[in-house]
A and B are shown apart, each in its own frame.
Chain A
Amino acid sequence: MDEEVVSQPLDLVRLSLDERIYVKMRGDRELTGRLHAFDQHMNLVLGEVEELITVVEFNEATQEESVRVIKKGYEMLFVRGDGVILVSPPMR
């Protein structure tokens, strides 16, 4: 069997095709989903996606900061690459 040479960072992403991955995005967003497609711009197509949006609210009156997390789900999602910060296997 031929050896798979991992020479470029994108080769690592290629190894994750059809696996679940974690994506950190701009705007305090995180996605987990099954990687179906990607390209050199880090455009992605993910299936069975869960999106987590972290919202920090500041209460003027009490001077308190509160953190909320909004969860959303998508069956199939195209993600534009310019919003992607990092891609990794899901965190255990």
Chain B
Amino acid sequence: MLFYSFFKTLINQPVIVELKNDVSIQGQLVSVDQFLNIKLEDISLVEENKYPHMRTVKNCFIRGSVVRYVTIPADKVDVGLLQDAARKEATEANKK
């Protein structure tokens, strides 16, 4: 649940989601769930001319499994906290 909690701290931040089909969508992160499905609001396609599919779409739901990357503003991330949480999560996953 580490990354679910991580994304919850980033709600309302501007992010860029790069999908496995190479489409990149910039938008405000509105919600996330345990599968890391993502809801974005006020989206703009990064390469609008190349991928005009969503010109009229303002808000979208993205299935977690089609995401390749999510670009996040670095200053919104507490790296120390993240690293500590990752250390704990790894040990817990091992014990199960």
Q: List A contacts of B20 (CB < 8 A).
A: 83
Does B56 touch A at the CB level, under 8 Å? no
A-B contact number at CB 8 A: 82
Q: List B contacts of A11 (CB < 8 A).
A: 90, 94
With contacts A10-B90, A17-B87 known, is A37 near B2, CB below 8 A?
yes
Q: How large is the interface on B (under 10, 10 to 19, 20 to 34, 35 or more residues)?
A: 20 to 34
Q: List B contacts of A74 (CB < 8 A).
A: 69, 71
- Pair B82/A37 contact, Cβ less than 8 Å: yes
Closest Cβ of chain A: how far from B85's Cβ, in Å? Answer: 7
Q: How far is the CA of A43 from the CA of B91 in the complex (A)?
A: 16
- Pair B70/A14 contact, Cβ less than 8 Å: no
- Pair B93/A39 contact, Cβ less than 8 Å: yes
Per DSSP, chain B at the interface is helix
Per DSSP, chain A at the interface is mixed
Number of interface residues of A (CB under 8 A): 25
Closest Cβ of chain A: how far from B37's Cβ, in Å? Answer: 12
Does A20 touch B at the CB level, under 8 Å? no
Does A76 touch B at the CB level, under 8 Å? yes
- Pair A80/B87 contact, Cβ less than 8 Å: no
Q: List A contacts of B7 (CB < 8 A).
A: 78
Closest Cβ of chain B: how far from A55's Cβ, in Å? Answer: 12
Q: A14-B86, A45-B77 are in contact. List 18 more A-B contacts (CB 8 A).
A: A7-B94, A10-B94, A14-B90, A17-B86, A17-B87, A36-B86, A37-B6, A37-B85, A37-B86, A40-B93, A75-B74, A77-B70, A78-B72, A79-B68, A80-B36, A80-B65, A80-B69, A83-B68
